[in-house]
Amino acid sequence: MVKRIGQKLIEGVDQLEKQMRSEIDGEEIRVGYAPSLGGDILRKALGRFSQIHQNVRVTISDSTSEQMTDGLREGVFDLIICVSIGDAELEMAAKA
């Protein structure tokens, strides 16, 4: 299960990289994550991302699910890594 989640995280980072490549050079990405889902997998994914985008500063914050969803809505986070939250509005924003 952990390996499957890790693979999905890495695939998600790859997809984000493709979507944001031209928009983020020299910018900052603010990431909220659940410590139980982060750890080594998140470090590897961010390390890979940072190798590709050396001019992008990534700020990570360990947060509760409520803090992450509120933070995403309020513009505190650009990306959150959490379990499915069942919020159609945020899921649509994530797909946009």
Domain that holds residue 6: 2-95
CB 50 within 8 A of CB 13: no
pLDDT for 40 equals: 76
Q: Kindly report the number of other CB atoms within 10 A of residue 73's CB atom.
A: 13
Which pair of tokens denotes residue 20?
């944001």
Which CATH number does the domain housing residue 27 bear? 3.40.190.10
Strands 57-62 and 79-81: unpaired
Residue 67: Cβ-neighbour burial (10 angstroms; 0-12, 13-18, 19+): middle
Instruction: Render pLDDT for 21-72 as a digit per residue (tens, 0 to 9).
Output: 656 666 888 999 887 766 777 888 888 888 988 888 888 898 888 898 899 9
As for how many domains the chain has, the answer is 1
